[in-house]
Structure formats: C-alpha cells, structure tokens
Structure 1
Amino acid sequence: MKKLSTYLLFIILFLLPSQSWSHEIRPAFLQIIQKDSDTYEVYWKVPRMRDVIPPIYPVFEEGIQLNRLMRPQKSIGASFSKYELVAEIPLEGTAIFIDGLKKTLIDVLVSVEYLNGERSTMMLQADQDTGLIKGTASTLQLAETYTVLGVEHILLGIDHLLFVLALLLICKRFKKLLGAITAFTLSHSFTLTLAVLGVIYIPTPPVEAVIALSIVFLAVELIKNLEGKESLTSKSPWLVAFTFGLLHGLGFASALHEVGLPQVEIPVALACFNIGVELGQIAFVSVMLAVFGLFNRLSNVSLMVKKIPAYMIGSVAFFWFIERIAAFC
C-alpha cells in the first residue's frame, strides 16, 4: 500500500495484551452431572496461560460439599480435575462463585445436567464471577452463550486475526477481498462442522503449527506484493483463503471441543458458535477497513517502511510455529 496505514495498524495490534499473542484466551469449563438425588460428578478444566495454571476455583454455597476425586492432570493446553459434589440442599437456585476470576481475563462456562434430562448453561466472567444455577436453560440462553464464545474466540485469537489482516493488506480491490473473506468463511465453517460432529479428526498441535505457518506464507506473499511482484495470493486470494481456511476451521473446532458441547443441542451450539466467529470476523474487518481509510490520507513512505508490518507478522508467526512444533516434539 502507498500509505502509512499498514505500519500504524500493526503497531496497534502489536500493543495488544501479550498473553493472547500465541493462543487465544480460552474459557475454563465446569461440568456438573447429576448421578442421584444428592450426588454429582464435577469436571473442572482450566486453560494454561503459557506454563502457568491460573489459580481459580469453583466455590458453592454452604450445604454443598466438593470432594476431589482426582489430582489435577496437566495437558498441553489445560489442567483437568475431577470432583464429587454432595448437595444437602437442592442445587437448583444456589449460587456458584469462581474464586480468583476477577484477577484474570478468563471466562468460565458452567454446564449442569440433571437426572431428568434438563440442562443449565451460563457464563461467568471477571466482572461477573457469581451466578445462580438454574434448573433448565432455554434454547435462546444456550444460543446466546455459544454466540458470545464464538465472538470472543475470534477476537482473542490473534493468530486467526493476523491471517485475515494479511489478506486485507494483499487484496487491494474490494471485490477480491470480498471473495477471499467469503471463501475463508465457507471453508472454516465446513471443517469446523465436520470436526465437531466427529467426521474428521486431526490432533490439535500439528493443526496449530500449520496455522502459524499459513500466516508466514501470507507475510512472504505480502512482501512480494509490495515489491510489485505477482503472487499466488494476489492472483487468486480466494483459493489461498479457502485452502488455509480449512485448517483454521480445525483450530476453531479444537477450541469448541475444549469448551464442551451440550449433547442434546449440538446443532444449536455449533451453529451459534460459528455465527459468533463470523460476527467477530466481520467486526474486525470493518474496523480495519475504517483504519485504512483514516490513515490513507497520510503522506507516502519508503518501501522499507511499508515492509515493516509484513516482517513483523512473519516473524511473530514463525516464532509461534517453532513454539508449537516444540510443544509436541
């Protein structure tokens, strides 16, 4: 581009919280399953922030006792614990509090399954760390919860946003940009659906590594574009967006699997999560186009300065690639 917009735009992104660079901030998941009149199984998953497990814990009202059945088990992306909950009072209508949540950026998805098949789903956040457990959740409440999860996933997933940003910088014509974004949306929606339904399965670590590599590829393509050379992405952006979108869809699916899905309403949860992802993506693209328009009035800069965003995007993405490869080697 002939203006300073790309440089200033990336500086804005570069100043975003560092803990969200490599991986999106994923929610914690508290699943409560009733086994008899007063006993429940409890599964507690907390996402790892780099090598640290945030010290957050569920706390229930007096008369509800939580007994640990299994020591926390650590995986690449989270810590898992199993408990038995014994309720001397009805669980419905009682309060649940997440201790330590105010000091984090983590959301907590709480899911309760009763013996009669009813379900309750709610989201707790840093500014709302206490909630009441309901007897059942409406389809509308479920839809709202998973739509918000989708929006948060894309807006806090800096690797996905950098991929879209690179596409924006390469596609100078609106028609090409629209085609690329549409292709990206269709392809990641396709693999997201297949992966969530169990039709296909690819381990998460290799997928995340290749997602980082896709951003490196676009950074190289952007440099070629700035030098006036024709590249695959500049000629057929929709093809590149569609191809790599298949991988990004698998990344979205792994995040949704970690959060958890209500077994009786998977289609609703899946559709709303995907809608949330699209809403977040549309919001990001709209803001970036507005920023482009704002800074396009600034004076021309040298070719070297124009390349700075591409080099920064490529360097950060390559660091993620090495980091993710090392995580499973």
Structure 2
Amino acid sequence: MKLTLRYLLAIILALIAAPLSADELRPAVIELSEREVDEWVLEWKLPVAATRAQSAAPVARPVFPQVCEAVGEPVQRAAALALQGRQQLRCTGDLAGQTFGLSELLGSADAIARLIPLDRPTQTFRLTADAPTAQVLAEPDTGQVLRDYFVIGAEHIVFGWDHLLFVIALVLLVRAPWAVVKAATAFTVAHSITLVATTLGYAGLPSRPVEALIALSIVFLAVEVAVVLRSPERRTFTRRFPWAVAFAFGLFHGFGFAGALAEIGLPQGEIVSALLAFNLGVEAGQLLVIAALAGLLKVLTRAVPKAETPVLRFATYAIGITGSFWLIERVIG
C-alpha cells in the first residue's frame, strides 16, 4: 500500500513539475516550396528550449535534398522562443525519393515537414526523433496525413498541459466514469466547432483572452473540486451539469487548439482529412487520460482509502495554483 501511495504521489509531483508554459504543442515546422521551375525556398521555424533561450540555440538544423544547392546565404531571425529562417535553393531533377527535414529532434519532440510543388498536391509529414527527415513521395498519401494528424491531436491533450489539467480536474470532480465520458465528448464536440470554424475562417478570437479563459476554466473546476472535497454531498453546478460546463469551456479550448494548429498548418487538399484526424486524436487522448486516471483513483480508493482525500486535496490545490498562475500571467503578462 505504501508503494502504491508513492507511485500516486510521484505522478502528481510530475504534473506539478511540468513546464509552466502551458501549451506544449509547438513543434518545429519546415517547409520546402517551389516558386518557379527548379527554384525552391526552404523555410523553417525551430523552437528554442527554454533553458537555452538566451543563446537562441535551436533544437535542430534544416536539411534539404541532395539534388538541391543553396543559393546565397540563409536568412535567420529570432522570434519568441523560436528561430525562423529562409534559404533559397536550386533543385535539378525529380525530388521523389529525396529526403528533407531536420538534422535531429531531441527527446519526444515532433516536427512538421511540408513539400509544396507548383503543379502537384502538397505533401505533409510528421517528423520524430527516430525519423527527423522525410522521404518525398511520388504521390501524396492521404493515409499518412490521417495517421500524422491523429497522433498530433492525441499529443495535444497528453502534452498540452492546460487542456490536460482541465480534463484531469473534470475527472476528479465528476468521478462517475460514464458521466465523465459524456462530459469529455461534449468538450470534444464544442472545441471541434470552434476549431473548424476558426480554421475555415468563419470565426476567431484574439489568442490572449482565449488563453486567459482556458486558464480560468482550470481554476473554476479546481475550486469546485475543493468544495466537493470539503462537502462530499454538495451538488455543485458542474456535478449536476458536467456536460454543459465541459461544452461551454470547450468552445474556448477550441480557439486554443486552432491557434496551435495554425502554427503547424494544414495540408492543402487534405484539410478536411487532417481536421477530422486531429479531432479524433484529441478524443482518443482524452479517453486515454480518463481511463488512466480512473484506474489510478480506483487503486487509490481500494489500496489506501485513508490517503484518498489528502492526495486528491493535494492534487486539486496543485491544479488550482497552476491554473491561477497561468491566469495571472495571461491577464497581466
């Protein structure tokens, strides 16, 4: 029982120790586009690790096909925790079978690579630490787009800390498995509406108030969890209508998803497929988090019942403090 308690506390401490830059879906992006026959431009945006921000050291270097040669010197400039660059290229022959991408990707980082020819469909690839370069295909692969954007959507829940903490707080508050699943589905439907509307240009909100409202949603749920822990019989608004609260806040989380997805971009000609796969990935990620947390809570309740309330109170205050920090930072920062 002591070992189980140690594992649970270790998981909670890992969440607290997570980076306070809430949204971790900020992958590198590299794009190879044809401007004229045999004339290409390689553009990249490489995130900078927070601990290396002052030296502006990127996590990777761009790699272009062997049949291409650089024209002039690359142009680079520092942006907010990122390095943006541009290189003119002259390429001879067919690029099919050639590779381009990044020299390396550290840890669990991902990147998006896009090839944009003049007279053929765009090709989009997801790069990983094991495969930091992509091989240009003779014809684009829709299945690849579906797979890649599904994984990106799932990762956005698992590694996007603000969305993740919202789902965790929702589970801690509602507890009943079926009610949690219905609330999470309402959350998915809501953020899908605003994500699609924003991506297609029918809606949009400035990122700063959206990020503040996302932080507020975490604080709101943390307060309700704290109230329920003090008075277990208390029927708060969210406990009575979890799906309605999840749907309402999900609309704002959708704008946040859209902002992150805008940085990655969507493949022309495959926008519908990519959006569908991304949303299915988000739902799969949510269900995975819910299942894992529900299992941990069940183990906690059975193995160390006396520790349940202290552990949950500790987790709730940690979530509330983190959400409050993000809220203050986004309002006055």
Instruction: Compute the TM-score of the two structures, normalised by the length of structure 1.
Output: 0.88
Residue of structure 1 equivalent to 2:69: 65
1:246 pairs with 2:245: no
After TM superposition, the structure 1 = structure 2 runs for residues 1-329 of structure 1, keeping only pairs within 5 Å, are 9=8, 11-15=10-14, 18-19=18-19, 22-50=22-50, 51=53, 54-67=58-71, 68=73, 70-75=75-80, 78-101=82-105, 103-228=106-231, 229-297=234-302, 298-301=304-307, 306-326=312-332, 329=333
Aligned counterparts of 1:142 and 1:295: Cα–Cα separation in 2:
40
Q: Is the 8 A contact 1:21 1:157 kept in 2?
A: no
2:188 and 2:279 in contact (8 A); partners too: no
Q: Calculate the aligned-residue CA RMSD, in Å.
A: 2.6
Larger mean Cα displacement after TM superposition, 52-61 or 30-39: 52-61
In structure 2, relative to structure 1, the CA distance for the partners of 1:295 and 1:305 (3 Å cut) is closer
Cα offsets for 1:196-244 (capped at 9, x unmatched)? 1111111223212221121011111111111113322122212211111
Preserved CA contact (<8 Å) 1:31 1:112: yes
Amino acid at match of 1:57: R
Alpha-carbon displacement from aligned partner over 1:121-167 (angstroms, at most 9, x marks no partner): 22211122233222331211111111111111111112111111111
| Cα deviation 1:262-309 (Å, max 9, x = unaligned) | 122211111111111111111111111111222211232485554211
Count of aligned residue pairs for this structure pair? 322
Q: Tell which deviates more after alignment, 216-225 or 31-40.
A: 31-40
- Relative distance call for 1:210 and 1:142 in structure 2 (3 A) is same
- Cα distance change on mapping 1:70 and 1:325 into 2, 3 Å: farther
Q: Contact 2:44–2:84 at 8 Å: present in 1 too?
A: yes
Given that 2:122 and 2:268 are in contact with CA atoms closer than 8 Å, whether structure 1 keeps it comes out as no
Distance 1:276 1:248 in 2: 15
- Given that residues 177 and 294 in structure 2 are in contact (C-alpha distance below 8 angstroms), is that contact kept between their aligned partners in structure 1? no
Q: Is the 8 A contact 1:19 1:49 kept in 2?
A: no
| Gap runs ≥5 in structure 2 | none
Give the Cα separation in 2 of the matches to 1:308 and 1:19: 19
In structure 2, do the counterparts of structure 1 residues 162 and 39 end up closer, same or farther at CA, with 3 Å as the change threshold? same
Corresponding residue SS for 2:266: coil
Q: In the superposition, relative to structure 1, how do residues 23 and 115 fare at CA in structure 2: closer, same or farther (>3 Å)? A: same
Following TM superposition, by how much is the alpha carbon of 1:49 offset from its aligned partner in structure 2, in angstroms?
3.9
Structure 1 residues 70, 130: CA separation in 2 closer, same or farther (over 3 Å shift)? closer
- Whether the 8 Å CA contact 1:154–1:160 is kept in 2: the answer is yes
Do 2:47 and 2:59's aligned partners in 1 also have CA atoms closer than 8 Å?
no
- What letter matches 1:189 in structure 2? S
User: Partner amino acid for 2:69?
Assistant: Q
**Worse overlay, 145-154 or 18-27:** 18-27
| Contact 1:111/1:121 (8 A) holds in 2 | yes
Cα distance in 1, alignment partners of residues 257 and 9 from structure 2: 24
Give the conservation status (yes or no) of the 8 Å contact 1:48–1:79: yes
Shift of 1:250: 0.9
Q: Percent identity?
A: 36
TM (norm. structure 2) is 0.87
8 A Cα contact 2:29 2:46, kept in partner: yes
Cα pair 1:7 1:306 within 8 Å, conserved: no
